Amino acid sequence: MPHSLTLTIPEPCHESWAAMTPAAQGRHCAACAKTVVDFSCMTDAQVVAWLSRQAAGATCGRFATPQLHRPLATGATTGWPRTLAALLALLGLGAAAPAIAQIPRPQTLTEQTLSMGIVATQPQAVLPVRVVQGRVTDASTGLGLPGVAVLVEGTHYGTSTRADGTYELDVPTSLHSPQLVFSSIGFEMTVEPIGLASTVKSVNMKMDDTLMGEVVYTDTARWYTPRGLWQRLTRPFRRQTNR
């Protein structure tokens, strides 16, 4: 029947993995003159199978933190005596060979994961969404409006309408009262709520009157050119000369 194996590292090695010389099964450590086997990318079954093939003796290994302090389940039914011997060798390695490499345990396991000695941010969870589609038209003509920005209010979800005014947009299902914001130059911004189960939302956009209308210029003062001003100043003298 299936059995499990739990690994622990009593005295972690502090030698630099990058400074070790690459070898067939891992890297060679000059400090302890041994090959450090890289178990970090192996599955549970591969780790147990590898240890079961080794003769009794010290084994230096490099493990990812999640591989330690938990049962490594495997369906293998043979090789258990040699696996147990290898495990005892690992547990008793403190005096014989202190160079067992181990990746440090991260301080925050909920946001980061440790892989091959490099801290990598876990992908953010993808929120469940529903697809809302519709068409944006000009209220005065009924024609579709292209290039209208469509945004889910308060989020980064957004899109723009196609040439015929149609659009499709992902809306997170976690929003309690979602609203769509429609905006385009020359038209009034439109905010439309969408029902929690609604998947269709079409709107008519009105022209923005503040951007249209006849331009009226009001003459508040009469301006004179330098030549016109000179003519006005010298007019009395010209009259006396003519007399």
Whole-angstrom distance, CA of residue 158 vs CA of residue 182? 10
Residue 232 within a domain: no
Cα distances (Å, whole numbers) of residue 35 to 20, 30, 70, 92, 177: 9, 9, 25, 18, 61
Residues 178 and 214 in one domain: no
Residues 156 and 171 in one domain: yes
Residue 178 within a domain: yes
HEC letters along the chain:
CCEEEECCCCCEECCCCCCCEECCCEEEECCCCEEEEECCCCCHHHHHHHHHCCCCCCCCEEECHHHCCCEEEECCCCCHHHHHHHHHHHHCHHHHCCCEEECCCCCCCCCEEEECCEEEECCCCCCCEEEEEEEEEECCCCCECCCCEEEECCCCCEEECCCCCEEEEEEECCCCCCEEEEECCCECCEEEECCCCCCECCEEECECHHHCCCCCCCCCCCCCCHHHHHHHHHHHHHHHHHC
86-106 tens-digit pLDDT: 555 555 544 444 444 544 544
**Dihedral-angle region of residue 11 (phi above 0 means left; psi in -120 to 50 means alpha; beta otherwise):** beta
Residues 190 and 217 in one domain: no
Over the chain, what is the mean pLDDT?
72
Per-residue pLDDT at 34 exceeds 60: yes
Residues 33 and 55 in one domain: yes
Mean pLDDT, residues 48-59: 70
Residues 152 and 187 in one domain: yes
User: Number of structural domains, the chain?
Assistant: 2
**pTM confidence score:** 0.38
pLDDT at 50: 77
Structural domain of 158: 129-205
Residue 112 within a domain: no
Residues 197 and 214 in one domain: no
Residue 88 within a domain: no
Residues 169 and 215 in one domain: no
Residue 195 within a domain: yes
Per-residue pLDDT at 85 exceeds 80: no
pLDDT at 205: 94
Per-residue pLDDT at 46 exceeds 60: yes
Residues 25 and 45 in one domain: yes
Question: Which of these, 51, 110, 101, 56, lies nearest to 79 by C-alpha position?
Answer: 51
Residues 156 and 200 in one domain: yes
Residue 37 within a domain: yes
Mean pLDDT, residues 42-55: 77
pLDDT at 58: 65
Residue 226 within a domain: no
133-166 tens-digit pLDDT: 999 999 999 999 999 999 999 888 899 999 999 9
Residues 163 and 139 in one domain: yes
Query: CATH no. for residue 142?
Result: 2.60.40.1120
Residues 214 and 182 in one domain: no
Residue 155 within a domain: yes
pLDDT bracket for residue 47 (50, 70, 90): confident
Fill in the amino acid letter for 151: L
Contact between 71 and 6 under an 8 Å Cβ cutoff? The reply is yes
Residues 136 and 200 in one domain: yes
